[in-house]
Amino acid sequence: MEAYKQQFIEFMVKAGALTFGDFITKSGRKTPYFINTGNYRTGSQIAKLGDYYAECIHRNIKEDFDILFGPAYKGIPLSVAASISLYKQYGKDVNYCFNRKESKDHGEGGNLVGCKPKDGDRVVIIEDVITAGTSVRETIPLLQAAAKVQVVGLVVAVDRMERGKTNKTPAAEIYEEFGLKTYPIVTVREIIDALYGKEIDGRVYLDDVQKARMEAYLEQYCVQ
């Protein structure tokens, strides 16, 4: 596993963005772990988070792109932080854009903020996690309604590797539907490999019991 992946997993744990216990996902599944990017709360944390997204983008998306798009609401700070880090770390000055949940009916109007997409723009979507792929399926029509853009990648913090509408992962389904590749910083399998038996700040978050719960969840809901 690349060093930045290991560091990112530990970063999520220390920031309280990756937690273990009993949770319910948006799809209604009972899960023993949860990723909540809403728990990042300091300038230093969001700066580091942007660095991890920027490194994932730099490593994986080789073609040029024009805009980072962050779906409201959690994608908004992610797209901004990633654009800042791309500029500082790699000298790549890209536009960012995000949507409002409700269209603005005064001033300039519309439901997009930041760089307004134009025909021919290449867009990378920035999200927190991919579980069912619902947000992406809502985002692509929104972007294509704004202009004739090409969506060239989806970058997420964590791929939960769960089954989507079929027996495939949402990432695989999205690729089949839109030709869009998903690039996670880490997968749930990498989280297990990185944390099992490892002590972080005096605590082992993934002991034998918790690992067994994770494996049982993967067996029931995930594509192995």
What are the respective helix, strand and coil percentages of the chain, to the nearest 5? 40, 30, 30
Number of compact structural domains in the chain: 1
Q: Kindly tell me if the per-residue pLDDT of 168 is higher than 90.
A: no
Quick one: pLDDT band at residue 53, thresholds 50, 70, 90? very high
Residue 90: per-residue pLDDT: 96
Q: Mean pLDDT for the chain? A: 92
Binned at pLDDT 50, 70 and 90, residue 135 comes out as confident
- CATH at residue 210: 3.40.50.2020
Q: What is the mean pLDDT of residues 129-151?
A: 88
Query: Span 113-142, mean pLDDT?
Result: 90
Mean pLDDT of 77-103: 93
Alpha carbon distances (Å) from 136 to 20, 53, 130: 26, 17, 9
Which has the higher per-residue pLDDT, 121 or 38? Answer: 121
Count how many Cα atoms sit within 13 Å of the Cα of residue 217 in the half-sphere of its side chain.
24
Angle subtended at Cα 174 by Cα 29 and Cα 111, rounded to the nearest 5 degrees: 90
Q: Which long-range contacts does 85-91 make (Cβ < 8 Å, 24+ apart)?
A: 85/47, 85/50, 85/51, 85/53, 85/54, 86/54, 86/57, 86/58, 89/51, 89/54, 89/55, 89/58, 90/54, 90/58
104, pLDDT greater than 70: no
Q: Which pLDDT does position 133 carry in this prediction?
A: 75
How many whole angstroms separate alpha carbon 140 and alpha carbon 150? 9
pLDDT band at 136 (very low <50, low <70, confident <90, very high): confident
pLDDT at 224 over 60: yes
| Mean pLDDT computed over 138-143 | 92
pLDDT of residue 21: 94
Q: Name the residues annotated as catalytic.
A: 104, 106
- Assign 103 a pLDDT band (cuts: 50, 70, 90): low
- Which domain covers residue 78, as residue numbers? 3-221
Higher-confidence position of 64 and 195: 195
Q: What is the pLDDT of residues 14-39, one digit of tens each?
A: 999 999 999 998 778 899 999 999 89
